[in-house]
Amino acid sequence: MPPLNQLTAHELHKKLKSREITSVELTESVFDRINDVDDSVKGYITLTQDIALEQAATADKIFDRGDQASSLTGIPIALKDVICTQGVLTTCGSRILGNFVSPYDATVMHKLNAHKTVMIGKTNMDEFAMGSSTENSAFFTTRNPWNLETIPGGSSGGSAAVVAADETIISLGSDTGGSIRQPASLCGVVGMKPTYGRVSRFGLIAFASSLDQIGPLAKDVTDCAITHNVICGHDPMDSTSANFPVPDFTNSLINDVNGIKIGIPTQYFSEGIDPQVEASVRSAIELLEKLGASTEEISLPHTEYAIATYYIIAPAEASANLARYDGVRYGLRIDQIDNIIDMYKKTRSQGFGDEVKRRIMLGTYSLSSGYYDAYYLKAQKVRTLIKQDFDQAFKKVDVLITPTSPTPAFKIGERTDDPLQMYLSDIFTTPSSLAGLPGISVPCGLTESGLPIGLQVLAAPFEEEKIFRVAYTFEQNTDHHQKKPKL
């Protein structure tokens, strides 16, 4: 049998239930793996071993007594360090929150605790979730387990890398413009961004409030569906939370795409896409056709404006959200100051990294008097056009299939001097984020040099079931998700 840390949550649940293994043994196996490889991967900012072993012992008592246990009871989970965890450091990958211990739990944390999961630790990320490579973390760069010279993607790079390296069973990330799906693609794991409003944002430290969503990264589609069942649902603590029924997503894990209509957006197969990525995605589409799905070329004419639109709206919201970090109430405060304005200035200039400062300045500029209509208001109008493109497409088809990322993982340091090149890493994920759509990335191949390639499946709002069905069928008929990096 492979080591416990390599198994999926649904495989482990059966073993825990039959008492073939204990949650404590499983948790120890995960920490052994972390001790072996995390010096190379650098996926975690904070480890919570004492808490984890205590939670695992509690889960074991539930199984010993034969009490009702959920599919995630006793399962080790890592959390992106942007999700508040009571009594544990929550840094957002930033110096400004380097000493911040959250006084409360995020709603997703409450839900995980109710299911008696095991918290392994907090994963590394681009500072305040701003980045596509995890090189913007104030602490260190996470490395891709498939090739330690390359980036794991971002901003949930740590969450993707620790799943790929078997340093946890499942992790949670957050996705604003592709920050779950892009790292999932580059690290060869499954990553799901729910419909905007499907998962509570209460306790998720805000970057861009009209875009941010928490979602799972996992070893297969089944684990994604199980985690989705736990974290979704209406929350009165979040005014943007959708009061919409949550189905049992595991009912959608059907190995059958007969009658499913797949749209292939022509704009997503344009110049700039790596030929190996395009070839893998096209062969995935052919396989789904053989399995009974029909395909149709679709046009999403406003796609070319998505990156520009996103980089006006997201920084504008970030500029407002990050105004609270001023050294007054919590986080970093610089002491050698002349007056309160000097304190704000020094705290923010020393606490924030370059990318965060760049986005705050971009956002403040586009919200400023005289520029608001020209930039922010116009971007919101274009966002509506992008959403309408998708609305039209989903009148004809059930799902859209695209590459997740235009290229496989690139070398660490390769794009740090060229922010625009970096922003283009999310060219296939930002349009659906602007439209609030759900999307998944599933592994669909490896490049000649052995780097993972991801396939993105998108559906209309609150139609995650269609995504799970297509993704599950693809996964059941291929072995891409079973491949592991040789660390």
**Is 179 in the active site?**
yes
Mean pLDDT of 137-144: 98
Q: Which amino acid does the sequence have at 49?
A: Q
Helix runs in 71-180, H state only? 107-114, 157-164
Using a 10 angstrom Cβ sphere, with 0-12 exposed, 13-18 middle and 19 or more buried, the burial of residue 113 is middle
- Active-site choice (132, 133, 156, 179): 179
8-state DSSP, 328:
S
Integer Cα distance of 169 and 443 in angstroms: 17
Using a 10 angstrom Cβ sphere, with 0-12 exposed, 13-18 middle and 19 or more buried, the burial of residue 479 is exposed
What pLDDT score does 327 carry? 85
Integer Cα distance of 49 and 54 in angstroms: 9
| Sign of the alpha-carbon torsion through 172, 177, 183, 184 | positive
- Residue 403's CB is within 10 A of a number of other CB atoms, namely 26
What pLDDT score does 417 carry? 85
- The 10s digit of each residue's pLDDT in 143-186 is 999 999 999 999 999 999 999 999 999 999 999 999 999 999 99
The CATH architecture of the domain made up of 4-256 is: Alpha-Beta Complex (3.90)
Q: Do β-strands 190-193 and 439-446 pair in parallel, antiparallel, or remain unpaired?
A: antiparallel
Domain ranges in the chain are 4-256
- Active-site choice (23, 71, 80, 280): 80
For residue 248, what are its two tokens?
Answer: 């049992």
Dihedral through CA 332, CA 335, CA 336, CA 339, nearest 10? 100
Give residues with Cβ within 8 angstroms of 23, minimum separation 6: 16, 55, 56, 57, 59, 60, 63, 73, 74, 75, 118
Strand runs labelled E in 384-478: 399-403, 439-446, 452-459
Say how many CA atoms lie within 13 Å of 406 toward its Cβ: 17
- The 10s digit of each residue's pLDDT in 242-267 is 999 999 999 999 999 999 999 999 99
Average pLDDT of every residue of the chain: 96
What pLDDT score does 469 carry? 98
- Active-site choice (94, 137, 155, 156): 155
Structure-token match 């297509």, residue found? 470
- The 10s digit of each residue's pLDDT in 282-334 is 999 999 999 999 999 999 999 999 999 999 999 999 999 999 998 888 889 88
Integer Cα distance of 296 and 282 in angstroms: 13
Structure-token match 């297969």, residue found? 220
**Is 80 in the active site?**
yes
Contact criterion met (CB below 8 Å) for 70 and 116: yes
